Amino acid sequence: MSLLRSPLDALAERLGLARDSGLLVVAVTHSSYAAEHGVESNERLEFLGDAVVDLAVADLIVTTYPALNEGSGSLVRSRVVNEASLARCALAIDLASCLRIGRGVQKEHGLERPSLLADAFEAVVAALYLEAGYEVAKRFVQGALRGAVAEAALRPGEVDPKTRLRQWTEATGRGTPVYEVVSDGPSHDATFSATVSAAGEWLGAGEGRSKKAAELEAAEAAWGGHGDA
């Protein structure tokens, strides 16, 4: 008789990790669950995983697309290593079914949040890096993001909203945009509000489930209101 595998067992097998991997358990533990149960959250792993993802994607860009210079390569990476893209990677490996989240986040359908999924994906990458080494983690990240990198490399000049806004403010003599971000709510369920200004002029505002998402929305709003002028 075959034993049913849990989603976490299936994830461990997919990653090539032991079923009892303690690091993987930490990687799928959101801060809301950690606060309720007195265990370690995945925040430290997320911090490390962010750096590993950046390096793996930069490595893929440099080795696969030699025609891209530093500037265009950075643009490609920024279009690939972001909340929405990493959340899609998390969904592709069914990471949501493995995550441990608190009751409040669960009631708010937290498993649908791109920020939560993206952070967990980075934490899983860190667990893989620590247990299996960089080469294994690199292959996993590059396999997950290779298609997105290829698509972005076809249009390396297409920039993200923050870069586009900065280029416009600098070109019009306003200098570099300044973002101000405040959060509302508990750390595990916060909403971020951002405003952006340049040369003392208010340009736009946005909200999101992460600081980065709020800044991007503010930049998009600012561009829509001023960039075509």
List pLDDT tens digits, range 167-209.
889 888 999 999 999 988 777 667 889 999 999 999 999 888 7
Q: What is the pLDDT of residue 167?
A: 85
Q: What is the pLDDT of residue 202?
A: 94
Q: What is the rounded CA–CA span in Å between residue 80 and residue 3?
A: 38
Q: 3: pLDDT confidence band, cut at 50, 70 and 90?
A: low
Nearest to 207 by CA among 197, 188, 192, 195: 192
Q: What is the rounded CA–CA span in Å between residue 104 and residue 98?
A: 17
98 neighbors 8 (Cβ within 8 angstroms): yes
Out of 119, 122, 215, 217, pick the active-site residue.
Answer: 122
Out of 46, 50, 215, 220, pick the active-site residue.
Answer: 50
Nearest to 119 by CA among 198, 204, 201, 43: 43
Tell me phi and psi for residue 144, to 5 degrees.
Answer: -75, -30
Q: What is the rounded CA–CA span in Å between residue 11 and residue 44?
A: 20
Residue 122 falls in the annotated catalytic set: yes
Q: Which domains does the chain have, with CATH numbers?
A: 7-154 (1.10.1520.10), 161-227 (3.30.160.20)
145 neighbors 133 (Cβ within 8 angstroms): no
Higher pLDDT, 218 or 3: 218
